[in-house]
Amino acid sequence: MLVSATEMLKAAVAGKYAVGQFNINNLEWTKSILQTAQENNSPVILGVSEGAGKYMTGFKTVSAMVSAMTEDLGITVPVALHLDHGTYDGAYKCIDAGFSSIMFDGSHYPIDENIEKTRELVGVCHSKGISIEAEVGAIGGEEDGVVGGGEVADPDECKMIADLGIDFLAAGIGNIHGKYPENWQGLNFDVLAQIKEKIGDLPLVLHGGTGIPADMIKRAISLGVAKINVNTECQLYFQEATRKYIEEGKDLVGKGFDPRKLLAPGCEAIKTIVKEKMELFGSIGKA
């Protein structure tokens, strides 16, 4: 059964660890992440961007697949199915499709409009037991065609959005999606501390988890980050393992062309990186 992310993230703030949001693209991704969470007794959040939702033919398909898979695999750890960087319309579609958590990303709207739309969606989500993440200060980099400039959120705006009753808050602190450039300045811990001071125990979300050094991750968790999103790193691990399989000519041996064999090394690689992140975030054994 899918659960909202509220309880697992409250527990994470109290226990000073973070729960990983791993983005899914297909059945293989979903299976690898769910199995890793179960094997390590860790709560987990499956993230679905609007682009990935479209790729998988729609949010209803995603929701049905994830629900059925948790049952068929006998998953007992808490699993939240979460819309990542949702638009206003996308949020409503996921609420209807049975997602247990959504992110409404109104960071590109003027703050008043972000507040108005977030407030409305908080009411709808909470009437259905769905958790809701909101965002202030766009995350930099590019994800599914959405480009942001590595912004840093205004702590006062964070407080205004937090006060709407959201369950967790994504605030830009110099983080970006995708690989970090050589000249990246690192996370802005001063702003993170100011935001934390204003919002108290509300769980904070760190987007762009790929490639952030371990010491920065640990410091961010100590300052109230309780959800960390990872997408690109799973893609890179999958790509590398798949490339190796083909370069070694394994697809040409026997039934090596069978998709279940061809995709197996990539699936194992996803399990490896997800476990590594769960260890770093401290969520192992916390289900």
- Which residues are known catalytic residues? 84
103 phi, psi to nearest 5 deg: -110, 125
Please name the residue that has the structure tokens 């065609």: 145
Closest CB to ligand 13P among residues 99, 245? 99
21 residue type, one letter: Q
CB 54 within 8 A of CB 25: no
Closest CB to ligand 13P among residues 237, 245? 237
Closest CB to ligand 13P among residues 199, 274? 274
**DSSP helix/strand/coil, 257:** coil
Token pair in block for residue 101: 């958590």
CB 161 within 8 A of CB 126: no
State how far the Cα of 136 lies from the Cα of 284, in Å rounded to an integer.
Answer: 29
Query: Contact positions toward ligand 13P, by CB under 6 A?
Result: 23, 47, 84-85, 177-178, 207-210, 229-233
249 residue type, one letter: G
Please name the residue that has the structure tokens 């811990």: 189
Closest CB to ligand 13P among residues 195, 245? 195
CB 19 within 8 A of CB 284: no
